[in-house]
Amino acid sequence: MPSENVPNPATPPPGETASPHRRRPRYSGKNPRRFEQKYKERAPEKYPETIAKVLAAGKTPAGTHRPIMVREVLAALAPRPGEIAVDCTLGYGGHAQELLARLQPGGRLIGLDADPIELPQAVERLRWAGFGPETFTAHRSNFAGLAKVLSTEAPGGVDLILADLGVSSMQLDDPARGFSVKAEGSLDMRMNPARGQSASALLEKVSAGALERMLVENADEPRADVLAAALAGRRFATTLELARAVREALPRLREEDAAISVRRVFQAVRIAVNEEFSALEMLLRSLPGCLRTGGRVAVLTFHSGEDRRVKKAFEAGMECGEYTEIAREVIRPTAEERNANSRSAPAKLRWAKRA
């Protein structure tokens, strides 16, 4: 009996050329430098041992985010079953997941985030954690639009509001977003890459006087005049180009001091690109009208410009009777948390309770 004529899968059909088999790139060493190579850290469910080692070293796995001051946030907001909460800056969904667990049964959470790249992933994580549309809804919106979102989602107000004003680790770690100087990337810095002008375009158009004011108001940079004269009106395509220009403008500074000025410049430009202070002020004005009687709000800030605005808004609300209680002293992360997660170090928490 003749054997069946089964084609060899390695042999291409007549007239076609075999394409070479391509293996998946190897994980390049214990600590790959390129963000794109860190697929183990970016898939935590598949590589728990790798994630455990990164966390044990006090670092944040690439492309993920560790929610900051969770215990303190929960103490300030005191979530209870059946309540309605808002996370104004959904990010990775870490705070939201902790709140949602305590709002059940019967409660729900409304999430806001302006980032069109990270928001769908956060929604997917929370759905996977078991929170369906009846307990969790998300809106692609800056927190300045909180009142508009609640006009349809919760017209009677909500019980809890959280705003974590920090830039998420997913944004910082990805060089393509342009937030960090750790790796070269396009100088963008927009939370929503589809809106507004990039950091590169802003620096090319800004005057030296405007940039000097920006560096002082947004980052308390003591050498704002020198840096503004050196940077304003120039075209910087990448993050490292801007970082080099900052260092070149301050040639007598020690490296550690120059590195601080680089971070301040990046912070000041990012705040301006995303109009963060005007959005925060709009949020602070709308908060009392968004809270039910006895409702609680907590705000995590990461630099003095943010904290000053929150402190003054809460104090003014207390004086005019909008709030019955506010945090008289700023709350900071514990030494244990700072050691475990260095990105928590500058965080400050303030809270208020609606009259």
Tokens (6 digits) for 238: 């990448």
Give dist(CA 106, CA 33) in Å, integer: 45
* pLDDT per residue rounded down to tens, the chain (355 residues): 444 444 444 455 555 555 555 665 555 555 555 555 554 555 555 666 765 666 556 555 555 668 999 999 999 999 999 999 999 999 989 999 999 999 999 999 999 999 998 899 999 999 999 999 999 999 999 999 999 999 999 999 999 999 999 887 767 778 888 888 888 899 999 998 888 999 999 999 999 999 999 999 999 999 999 999 999 999 999 999 999 999 999 999 999 999 999 999 999 999 999 999 999 999 999 999 999 999 999 999 999 999 999 999 999 999 999 999 999 999 999 999 999 988 899 999 999 999 9
CA-to-CA dists, residue 209 to 73, 158, 198, 213, 225, angstroms: 39, 43, 19, 6, 8
- The count of other CB atoms within 10 Å of the CB of residue 144 is 20
Which residue is it, tokens 């109009």?
Answer: 275
Residues with Cβ within 8 Å of 296's Cβ and at least 6 positions away in sequence, in order, are 76, 77, 78, 159, 160, 161, 351, 352, 353, 354
Start-end of CATH 3.40.50.150 domains in the chain: 70-169+276-354
pLDDT value at residue 42: 53
Q: Considering just the CA atoms, what is the radius of gyration of the chain in Å?
A: 24
pLDDT at 1: 41
Peptide bond into 105 cis (omega under 30): yes
241: left (phi over 0), alpha (psi -120 to 50) or beta: alpha
The answer to whether the beta carbons of residues 81 and 107 sit under 8 Å apart is yes
- Reference 226, options 208, 201, 210; nearest CA is 208
Distance CA 95, CA 73 (A): 8
What is the distance between the alpha carbons of residues 175 and 168, in angstroms, rounded to a whole number?
A: 13
Amino acid sitting at position 213: R
DSSP code string of 77-107: H---TT-EEEESS-TTSHHHHHHHHHHTTT-
Fold of 70-169+276-354: Rossmann fold (3.40.50)
Q: In what order do the strands lie in the sheet with 158-164?
A: 136-140, 108-113, 84-87, 158-164, 291-301, 348-354, 323-326
CA angle 314, 341, 44 (to 5 degrees): 115
Query: How far is residue 166's CA from residue 90's CA, in Å, rounded to a whole number?
Result: 11
Residue 322's φ and ψ, nearest 5 degrees, are -75, -30
Return the pLDDT at 3: 40
pLDDT at 323: 98
Overall fold of domain 192-273 = DNA polymerase; domain 1 (1.10.150)
CB 69 within 8 A of CB 331: yes
Which residues of the chain does CATH 1.10.150 include? 192-273
What is the distance between the alpha carbons of residues 68 and 124, in angstroms, rounded to a whole number?
21
Q: Which tokens belong to 142?
A: 């800056």
Rounded to whole angstroms, the Cα distance separating 115 from 295 reads: 27
pTM of the model: 0.80
